[in-house]
Chains A and B, each alone.
Chain A
Amino acid sequence: MESASATLEIRDEADAVDAICAANAKGVSCAIVGGGSKARLGRSAPQAQTLSTAALTGVTLYEPNELVLSARAGALLGEIEALLDQNGQQLAFEPMDYGPLLGAEAGCATIGGVIAVNASGPRRIKAGAARDHLLGFRCVTGRGEQVKSGGRVMKNVTGYDLSKLVCGSYGTLALLTELTLKVLPKPETECTLLAIGANEEESLALLRRATATPCEPSSLAMLPAGAALALDDNAAAVRLEGPAISVTARRDDLLMRLALDGVRFETLEERDSAALWREVRDAEPVAAEVGQVWRISVAPTEGFAVVERIRRAGVPLLAHFYDWAGGLIWLCVETTSDAYAAVVRAAVDVSGGHATLIRASQETRTIVDVFHPQPAALAALTRRVKESFDPAHILERGRMRAEF
């Protein structure tokens, strides 16, 4: 959704059924918008009308002792997080706020949007992604049918796991109306061990060594000089969370195991640690630059090689950093019409993974594949899956793939 189009406010499932059935009858496509923080995410694909889930607010169930929370799709992520926080709990997958990166306001993301893009932060490497925390949902499909899947219990294999499928589907399958999530206790405290001064490749190797220790790091990022917290040297950051007694013991243990010539270690205590991981979560080091932004997921050992290939091909990098022990690369490149898509994707395809163009102009996101191209058999299956929910391509037409 980028250009102005008629907006229909969805107040309940009946509204969604009416709107989507009417759209099917007329053959017009619909955008789905919650808080609008991700309006510029995905392929540029203007839709004939907009369905707003902003009025679908409210937490409908919260039982802290059962580790479960249900909310309607338009509930603000910030409100849910505040409620959980009051009870010493959190969404462990640490969803990022895309707003600031994409030129929208901070704090307007809704839970429906979080699930629609499978937004997950630095803790993903230990705690799992949004897809690992969605227990069940209700929706109205592109056929205009009310469908539910999953439940409110932690363990459930009754029927296909559609929760996984709607996570990261960018609204192309169904309009989500209500989501049930697994919530978890907040760790008592956290700290971050910074290893400062090694080069990029060594820093990443050090992160991988940290994941091979029993110190249970919950996040591992490599921040090149100048990328965050006004650090003027390369830093490998390892987050430790848990009871205070355990965090301190693990920090000391890790320090011993990672000792390396020419590397100095610093500890960020709770507040600074939390601030650093918020920056990493929201990709601030690349968000601050003006260029186009890629998000690349590869095997952790391949992260550095992928960036090197892109650099050697002459792509002007404005900023970059690594999360997930090197497996997630955020890259900001100088703006050009094609965002260097061919070079970036070729660099990824050498060893496997995917590159998503997160921030670019409307024109660029029209001519460049925002999502990694798929082999023919997978592309055909993907289309059949889409059409099983939305045969007439009513929802978010063209948002993920040009062909639907």
Chain B
Amino acid sequence: MTLLMPTPEPAIMSRRNELVARLADILPGESLIVDEIARRAYECDAFTMYRALPLVVALPESVEQVRAIMALAAEMNVKVVPRGAGTSLSGGSMPLEDGILLGMSKFNRILEIDYENRCARVQPGVQNLAISKAVEAQGFYYAPDPSSQIACSIGGNVAENAGGVHCLKYGLTTNNILGLEVVLMGGDLIRLGGKHLDSEGYDLIGLMTGSEGLLGVVTEVIVRLLQKPPVARGLLLGFASVDAGARCVSAIIARGVIPAGLEMMDRATIHAVERFQPCGYPLDAEALVIVEIDGTQAEVDHLIGVVQDIAREEGATTIRASTSEAERLQFWAGRKNAFPAVSCIAPDYLCMDGTIPRARLPEALAGMDRLAKAQGLSVANVFHAGDGNLHPLILYDASKEGDVERAEKLGFDILRLCVSLGGVLTGEHGVGVEKRDLMGEMFTEVDLEQQMRLKCAFDPAGRLNPGKVFPTLHRCAELGMMHVAGGKMPFPDLPRF
């Protein structure tokens, strides 16, 4: 285990019984998980490489309970790790051994659907897809659609600023949120935004979105609803080289077309998918590009024609346009099954999430290949090609001596490569614990200190989800954010690591 987490604080561990008793005053018995075997269920999220047993699991169902827990945590100086559906791929809700795991799964109600104002007020534990399902009969949907949308919760989407295949045209979570209700460490409740656009004052909704549970606990979300486009059609394009596929993607954008989805996969993934569940992908192609155009019938048909022309000019070896909804869904079936398909060709895989400027794609792929060979591993690639977000899947075998370490090393090398090409460490999965120690590749110490000062503005004692995102946890006083009265620092035993 190469990941160093904050050392559990004896002062907290020794007061566990007192903490549990105090929590029992706030929550009914069934909402408090004390038993070790039951707590095991929460020891990791979808980033399973690292695990920890939470001190206690609290499952509140009212805002008052959340406020009381956050007030108690501040009073007893106990850490809190918020958790939605536990689908984070970066360990954002990995528990701490000396922390309360605050599970928000009981906040599972859609509170209001306001069609006239094109928004819905929902609790954070509501499943992403459930929102679209609730409004589809009226012709609406909620745009961000991460692959985990049947499981992930909207509160977690806010914490991670979740994306999906349609975000090139419709934006990420941050572009589709109108309001938040947030409980701060200590129990204060703040409301941000509402059913109106662009609240003046600092854009704390924007700051909260993607803050990975380090700033506050979201207890209510107002999401924007969009009118469902009447028509969507897909195009399946095969290319003899990855470069040709990448050039075609650039040419589509350059021609002024912004598709609803623009995905690409490499030969390794195409073959894995076809073996897993055949869906008619061309096996002779080195790269496959899936394009989706949505809108009104006239516009979609017109743009499908434009993209077909571009594909021809760029030398596509396969060009197929969907003529029915079933065919469009079939085009997507392989892409949606890419991850499970890859898990059938290798015992384990590690999914990375760097983003690069699109034009650097050929370089990135060549570089990845080189790095993989150096570790004796191989990589299958799926990308959100439209926005340059790569998902290299590093194939390894955890039962083989040294493979885990090699896979982890390769992952880090790939992310460093992304940064060196002008890209970033993570496009949509978050930093969490997974990429925490790479933050220095992208940011200077001064950049990171400014971000940590913001954390201090929300959580001066550093009790909310510490050990995530930032490689080094500074005391707020060191960052010049806390008044040190009479030479005495609050919480002098706060650990550094």
- A-to-B contact residues, CB < 8 Å: 63-68, 88, 118, 120, 124-125, 128-129, 131-132, 141, 143, 145-149, 151-165, 167-169, 173, 184-186, 188, 208, 211-216, 242-243, 245-246, 249-250, 253, 297-301, 324, 327-328, 352-354, 356, 371-372, 374-375, 377-378, 381-382, 384-389, 391, 400
Contacts and interface: CB of A to CB of B under 8 A. Distances in A.
Contact of A156 (B204, B386, B424, B444): B424
Given A246-B295, A388-B453, A299 B117 contact: yes
B306 to A, nearest CB: 9
Contacts of A400: 201
Interface of B: 114-118, 139, 160-161, 163, 167-168, 171-172, 174-175, 184, 188-192, 194-207, 209-211, 227-230, 250-251, 253-254, 256-258, 295-299, 302-303, 355-359, 384, 386-389, 422-431, 435, 439, 442-444, 446-451, 453-454, 456-458, 469, 480-481
24 contacts: A63-B359, A65-B359, A66-B250, A66-B357, A131-B206, A148-B444, A153-B387, A153-B424, A153-B427, A158-B439, A161-B174, A162-B450, A164-B205, A169-B202, A173-B202, A212-B227, A216-B227, A245-B299, A249-B298, A299-B114, A301-B114, A301-B116, A375-B190, A391-B480
Given A168-B203, A214-B296, A160 B210 contact: yes
Nearest to B480: A391
B229 A214 contact: yes
A158 B346 CA distance: 29
A189 B128 CA distance: 35
A352 B196 contact: yes
Contacts of B192: 378
Contact of B296 (A250, A300, A384): A250
Contact of A141 (B358, B424, B450): B450
Nearest to B163: A155
A28 B179 CA distance: 36
A158 to B, nearest CB: 5
Contact of A353 (B118, B194, B203, B227): B194
Contacts of B295: 216, 242, 246
B227 A213 contact: yes
A243 B299 contact: yes
Contacts of A378: 190-192, 201
Given A155-B163, A157-B430, A214-B229, A353 B210 contact: no
A246 B227 contact: no
A372 B453 CA distance: 26
Contacts of A129: 197-198
Given A161-B209, A185-B257, A243 B116 contact: no
Contact of A354 (B199, B297, B446): B199
B207 A155 contact: no
A297 B197 contact: yes
Pick the 3 closest A-B CB pairs, nearest first. A164-B206, A246-B299, A185-B256
Chief secondary structure at chain A's binding surface = mixed
A155 B388 contact: yes
A156 B431 CA distance: 10
B355 A159 contact: no
* Chain A CB within 10 Å, residue with most, of B174, B205, B457: B457
Given A164-B206, A214-B229, A391-B480, A157 B198 contact: no
Given A147-B447, A246-B295, A385-B454, 15 more contacts: A67-B253, A154-B168, A158-B426, A158-B442, A161-B206, A162-B207, A167-B206, A211-B118, A213-B227, A245-B299, A246-B302, A249-B296, A298-B195, A353-B196, A354-B201
Contacts of B229: 214, 216
B449 to A, nearest CB: 8
B104 to A, nearest CB: 20
B450 A147 contact: yes
Contacts of A377: 184, 188-190
A212 B140 CA distance: 9
Nearest to B435: A158
Contacts of A211: 118, 227
A385 B190 CA distance: 14
Nearest to B430: A157
A165 B203 contact: yes
Contacts of B206: 131, 161, 163-165, 167
A155 B198 contact: no
A394 B443 CA distance: 25
Contact of B356 (A147, A153, A162, A372): A153
Given A297-B198, A324-B197, A352-B196, A157 B190 contact: no
A153 B203 contact: no
A209 to B, nearest CB: 9
Contact of A158 (B168, B303, B431): B431
Given A147-B447, A161-B161, A161-B209, A186 B256 contact: yes
Contacts of B258: 184-185
